[in-house]
Structure 1
Amino acid sequence: MAAAPTKQAILELYKNTLRTSRAFSSYNFRQYFVRRTEGTFREIQEETDPAKLTTFYNDKTKELEALKRSAIVNQLYGGWKLVVEKDSVERERSDN
């Protein structure tokens, strides 16, 4: 059995997953994957069992690769910005 991933390796995986989650052009997908990433890694934060950590790390590495592909496709076919995504400057102009 392979050695459990280090905390540094899991932290690096977290950062990469969060960065990829923020790459979605669609607001709803972006917000969903950011929340999901933060929640998933928060749950495993205090885990000490090497078998669980290894399984988690391997699963999330595979998910990261799928997430990267999905983000690229989403960027290619991204739609218009939603109202919640407008800059505060644009909101102020529309209020006047």
Structure 2
Amino acid sequence: MASTRNQVLSLYKHLLKEGQQLSDYNFRSYARRRVRDAFHENKTETDPQKIQKLIGKAVENLDILKRQVTVGKLYGQGKLIIER
């Protein structure tokens, strides 16, 4: 169980860190909010099979987020006034 907890915490940190690298302010704030909400919503889950499914879904989302960061770096725009 401790291994799963460490895995989930590591995944949470990776998702937040990767979300902070998005080039667009709105996407960054959405990613941060969505990650926090999803993990908060499922923090009381005790079924091991469902936890593994949620971890798998989070890993897939991390891969998508990494691709989006790469694309954003290739075709990104300048910072918004609010970010300066």
Shared fold, TM over 0.5: yes
Amino acid at match of 1:48: T
Q: 1:70 is matched with which residue? A: 68
CA distance in 1 between partners of 2:42 and 2:73 (Å): 30
Q: How many residues align?
A: 83
Give the counterpart of 2:46 among 45, 48, 60. 48
In the alignment, does 2:80 pair up with 1:82? yes
Deviation string, structure 1 residues 7-40 (Cα, Å, up to 9, x no partner): 1100100011111100101111111111111111
Structure ranking higher on relative contact order (CA contacts 8 Å, 6+ apart) = 2
Q: Which amino acid aligns with 1:69?
A: R
After TM superposition, list the pairs within 5 Å mapping 1:8-47 onto structure 2: 8-47=6-45
Name the SS for the 1:7 alignment partner: helix
1:83: Cα distance to partner?
1.7
Shift of 1:76: 1.6
Which of the pair has more CA radius of gyration? Answer: 1
Structure 2 residue matching 1:81: 3-state secondary structure? coil
Aligned amino acid, residue 7 of structure 1: R
Which one has a larger percent helix, Structure 1 or Structure 2?
Answer: 2
SS of 2:32's equivalent?
Answer: helix
> 1:75: Cα distance to partner?
1.6
- Runs of 5+ consecutive residues of structure 1 not aligned to the other structure: 87-96
The residue that corresponds to 2:58 in the other structure is 60
Report the counterpart of residue 89 of structure 1 in structure 2.
none
**TM-fit CA distance, 1:82:** 1.1
Structure 1 distance, partners of 2:64, 2:78, is 24
